[in-house]
């Protein structure tokens, strides 16, 4: 099929989205979740696919569920466990449960019936039991009591959320009222469930407790897990590691230094060592997580000492225990790295684009590596590589659809930004770009701020789609962005907005110096922290610098944003609490510069956004209306920090494009 058209929002939502792959123990197959969306039904459906790591075709494994996810192979490679909500044998799941399916195919069977539901899990090495995460009432004993309480709670008539916890909401939901995340053991044959934390006072971290927060020793005798050792649980507290001996029921602290944050434990293949991601937060709260290693009976040792990067979870060991694999951002890309333990050297195993997930399996000398990665020109693709072999593509889910599209070219440039530092800017050109003609410019300011624009294919701010109407799309990795070292990341603390503005403005100056840039058609957009920067720029740059802007889920009022789930982190970023040093907070607060705001702005926000509560978007819109500045509000009652429903996303992009068009004076004459 010849490429004939540019990408549009409906095509974007027709692309199938591939989840992280999991390898069978022998490396012969991978399994992954694949999500397809229907614009007509306004929903997605996720199923599991089996991907042979040789040249055989993929095979769909599940069909009956809507949200089959987190697949994991049994230790013997004969079954795959996954989490889903289904209806089976006349029983409809009210919460997510564990299901098992034979690797050869057939019908999945429900393996758990636990009222509070299952958040995440790992197989025990014996293949007869599963260790899982669930939110339980910590004062109750036994799974029957948990089931009764869950039923009673669901039948209550009142609707209030009542808490005394400092951490009580996350992203778009309240944490389960009165419950804590524990580790529980499920016997697959009997269905019996045992709470391993019952009566211990231990719990997993409250923010998104999952499978990276615990690991099981290869012989199944011990479990290492992450917890908050402080009496008062706060999202800003450093986390520690502890170990549970399953035979004795005794807990042992594996870390005791409150100046360090420990996360993502991973046992070595022989069980004699434990790796993790550790950050020296006592020195600075922005310190990056780096790999660390503890051999039994020895102190922790930091690894990759010569590397100024931040390691992402999870970690994976090679079969012989000589290497650790992980992802870490590097200048707008996220490659897969390999750390060789004997000489503490790091090398790139799979370069960027952006590695979204990976797995490693097999015996020493016969390992298989599977990687799911995307780039600015394509969504996630899955490749496998056997030891000493060449990479082999395992699927072609989106190839036919992509073959019918003409995409724009992407490139990176360097410019001189704040503090005289080199700053990276990514450019996405519209399809058919002609440097002999003038083109409108569109900044897309990334969120975070500790994130990065880069060589990746996004769905919420897809640069190919944003460039499809003729704009040259620019994304500046301003000071504070991740992947450029600690000093660059930390530089904006206590003065947010200052250096980032200089970097973005330097990007605009660079763009306007290009012969193909139309100086009368410059636009700016941003989401989350990028939305903060949109409001900040509106109050700090001269009127007319940007024709119009789009602010999605942006911070407008620092004090009102104390209602966010992340309120415990923000004072550290600002360098002050608003009641102790109001002047310093005010100096970093966009609403205090409202009298200078004159740029027409489209404000978009979701009511279920607990990261940047929608009072920010409403206040920004109301302020512009009160000042007589052209403004438009798009408010989603059913969306969170992102816009996740297909029809809402289509409206979001349409409003985005319509707003730019409404404030576009039209093309200048060609040079």
Q: Could you read off the pLDDT of 595-618 as tens digits, one per residue?
A: 999 999 999 999 999 999 999 999
Identify the residue whose tokens are 């709670």. Answer: 153
CA distance 31 to 48: 7
Contact (CB, 8 A) for 159 and 168: no
Quick one: which of 523, 582, 584, 593 has its CA closest to 556? 593
CA distance 107 to 378: 33
Contact (CB, 8 A) for 16 and 34: yes
Neighbours of 241 (CB within 10 A): 28
CA distance 133 to 51: 27
Neighbours of 466 (CB within 10 A): 23
Q: Spell out, as residue ranges, where the chain has pLDDT lower than 50.
A: 1-2, 670-671
DSSP symbol at 82: E
pLDDT of residue 177: 97
What's the token pair of residue 445?
A: 């300011």
pLDDT of residue 671: 46
DSSP symbol at 5: B
Contact (CB, 8 A) for 571 and 579: no
pLDDT of residue 669: 55
CA distance 280 to 639: 36
Contact (CB, 8 A) for 621 and 594: no
Q: Which helix (H) or strand (E) covers residue 316, if one does? A: strand 311-317
Contact (CB, 8 A) for 550 and 601: yes
Strand pairing of 410-416 and 378-386?
unpaired
Identify the residue whose tokens are 């000071």. Answer: 479
The count of C-alpha atoms lying within 13 angstroms of the C-alpha of 550, restricted to the half-sphere facing its C-beta, is 28
Per-residue model confidence as pLDDT tens digits over 239-280: 999 999 999 999 999 998 999 999 999 999 999 999 999 999
pLDDT of residue 387: 85
Cα 202–207–210 angle (5° rounding)? Answer: 75
Per-residue model confidence as pLDDT tens digits over 344-383: 999 999 997 999 999 999 887 789 999 999 999 999 999 9
pLDDT of residue 364: 77
CA distance 86 to 67: 9
Grouping H, G, I as helix, E, B as strand and the rest as coil, residue 566 is coil
Domains of the chain as residue ranges with CATH: 408-662 (3.40.50.1820)
The count of C-alpha atoms lying within 13 angstroms of the C-alpha of 118, restricted to the half-sphere facing its C-beta, is 29
**Rg (alpha carbons) of the chain, rounded to whole number:** 25
Cβ partners under 8 Å of residue 149, min gap 6: 115, 137, 140
CA distance 227 to 178: 18
pLDDT of residue 3: 52
529-538 and 498-512 helices cross at what angle (nearest 10)?
A: 80
């Amino acid at each position: 099929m010849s490429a004939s058209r540019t990408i549009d929002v409906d095509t974007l939502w027709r692309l199938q989205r591939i989840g992280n792959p999991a390898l069978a123990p022998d490396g012969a197959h991978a399994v992954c979740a694949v999500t397809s969306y229907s614009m007509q039904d306004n929903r997605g459906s996720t199923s599991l696919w089996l991907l042979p790591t040789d040249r055989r075709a993929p095979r769909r494994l599940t069909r009956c569920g809507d949200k089959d996810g987190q697949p994991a192979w049994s230790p013997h490679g004969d079954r795959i466990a996954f989490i889903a909500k289904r209806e089976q044998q006349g029983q409809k799941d009210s919460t997510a449960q564990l299901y098992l399916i034979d690797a050869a195919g057939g019908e999945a069977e429900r393996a758990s019936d636990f009222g509070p539901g299952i958040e995440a899990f790992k197989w025990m090495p014996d293949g007869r039991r599963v260790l899982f995460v669930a939110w339980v009432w910590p004062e109750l004993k036994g799974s029957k009591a948990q089931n009764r309480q869950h039923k009673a709670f669901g039948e209550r008539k009142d609707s209030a959320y009542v808490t005394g916890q400092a951490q009580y909401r996350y992203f778009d939901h309240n944490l389960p009222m009165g419950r804590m995340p524990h580790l529980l053991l499920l016997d697959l044959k009997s269905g019996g469930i045992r709470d391993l934390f019952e009566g211990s006072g231990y719990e997993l971290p409250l923010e998104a407790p999952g499978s990276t927060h615990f690991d099981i020793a290869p012989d199944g005798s011990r479990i290492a897990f992450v917890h908050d050792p402080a009496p008062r649980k706060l999202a800003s507290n450093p986390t520690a590691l502890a170990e549970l001996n399953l035979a004795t029921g005794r807990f042992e602290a594996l870390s005791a230094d409150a100046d360090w944050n420990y996360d993502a434990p991973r046992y070595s293949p022989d069980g004699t060592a434990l790796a993790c991601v550790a950050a020296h937060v006592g020195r600075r709260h922005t310190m990056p997580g780096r790999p660390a290693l503890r051999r039994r009976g020895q102190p922790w040792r930091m690894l990759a000492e010569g590397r100024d990067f931040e390691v992402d979870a999870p970690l994976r060991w090679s079969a012989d225990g000589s290497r650790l694999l992980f992802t870490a951002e590097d200048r707008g890309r996220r490659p897969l790295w390999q750390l060789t333990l004997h000489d503490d050297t790091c090398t790139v195993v799979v370069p960027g684009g952006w590695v979204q997930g990976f797995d490693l399996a097999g015996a020493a000398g016969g390992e298989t590596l599977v990687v799911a990665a995307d780039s600015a020109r394509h969504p996630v693709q899955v490749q496998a590589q056997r030891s000493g072999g060449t990479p082999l593509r395992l699927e072609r889910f989106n190839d036919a659809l992509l073959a019918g599209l003409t995409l724009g070219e992407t490139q990176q440039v360097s410019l001189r930004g704040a503090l005289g530092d080199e700053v990276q800017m990514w450019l996405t050109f519209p399809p058919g770009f002609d440097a002999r003609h003038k083109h409108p410019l569109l900044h897309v300011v990334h969120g975070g701020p500790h994130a990065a624009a880069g060589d990746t294919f996004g769905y919420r701010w897809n640069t190919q789609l944003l460039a499809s109407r003729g704009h040259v799309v620019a994304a500046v990795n301003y000071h504070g962005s991740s992947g450029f070292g600690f000093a660059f990341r930390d530089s904006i603390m206590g003065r947010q907005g200052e250096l980032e503005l200089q970097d973005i403005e330097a990007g605009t100056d660079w763009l306007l110096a290009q012969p193909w840039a139309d100086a009368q058609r410059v636009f700016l957009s941003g989401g989350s922290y990028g939305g903060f920067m949109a409001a900040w720029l509106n109050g700090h740059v001269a009127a007319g610098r940007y024709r119009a802007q789009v602010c999605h889920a942006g911070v407008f009022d620092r004090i009102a944003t104390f209602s966010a789930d992340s309120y415990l982190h923000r004072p550290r970023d600002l360098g002050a609490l608003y009641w102790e040093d109001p002047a310093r907070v005010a100096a970093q607060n966009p609403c205090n510069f409202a009298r200078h705001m004159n740029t027409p702005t489209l404000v978009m926000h979701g009511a279920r956004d607990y990261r940047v509560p929608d009072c920010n978007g409403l206040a920004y819109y109301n302020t512009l209306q009160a000042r007589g500045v052209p403004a438009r509000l798009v408010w989603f009652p059913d969306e969170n920090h992102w816009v996740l429903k297909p029809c809402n996303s289509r409206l979001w992009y349409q409003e985005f494009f319509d707003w730019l068009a409404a404030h576009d004076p039209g093309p200048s004459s060609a040079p």
